Amino acid sequence: MDPLLIKLIGFAAATCTTVAYAPQAIKVWKTRSTGDISLGMFLVMVLGLALWLIYGLLSGDGPLIASNAVTMLLAGGILVMKLRYG
């Protein structure tokens, strides 16, 4: 398979999984309500995203770096709001 096509598939997948966090982040930001969000899930998710980001940096994988950096910001923002607003 063409390496460019493989990268494009990676970026498309990364875009989908990253954008998926945006509606939740926006909702939490607007409502300041995090009661139904699992603290444990977001702690583990942010840790996993950080590890994927490190892996992406070490391997030089563009889609992994881009998607995990942005997703970590979104999920990390939700986590901060969960810790702040409870």
User: What does the pLDDT read at residue 57?
Assistant: 96
Q: What is the pLDDT of residues 43-80, one digit of tens each?
A: 999 999 999 999 999 999 888 898 899 999 999 999 99
**CATH class entry, domain 1-83:** mainly alpha
Helix extents (H) in the chain: 3-19, 22-31, 39-59, 62-85
Q: Confidence band (pLDDT; 50, 70, 90) for 85? A: confident
In the chain, where the domains are located: 1-83
Q: Which residues contact 46 (CB under 8 A, 6 or more apart)?
A: 72, 75, 76, 79
Helix pair 3-19, 62-85: axis angle to 10 deg: 10
Provide the whole-model pTM.
0.81
Q: What is the pLDDT of residues 5-20, one digit of tens each?
A: 998 898 898 889 889 9
The conformation of residue 37, written as its DSSP 8-state character, comes to S
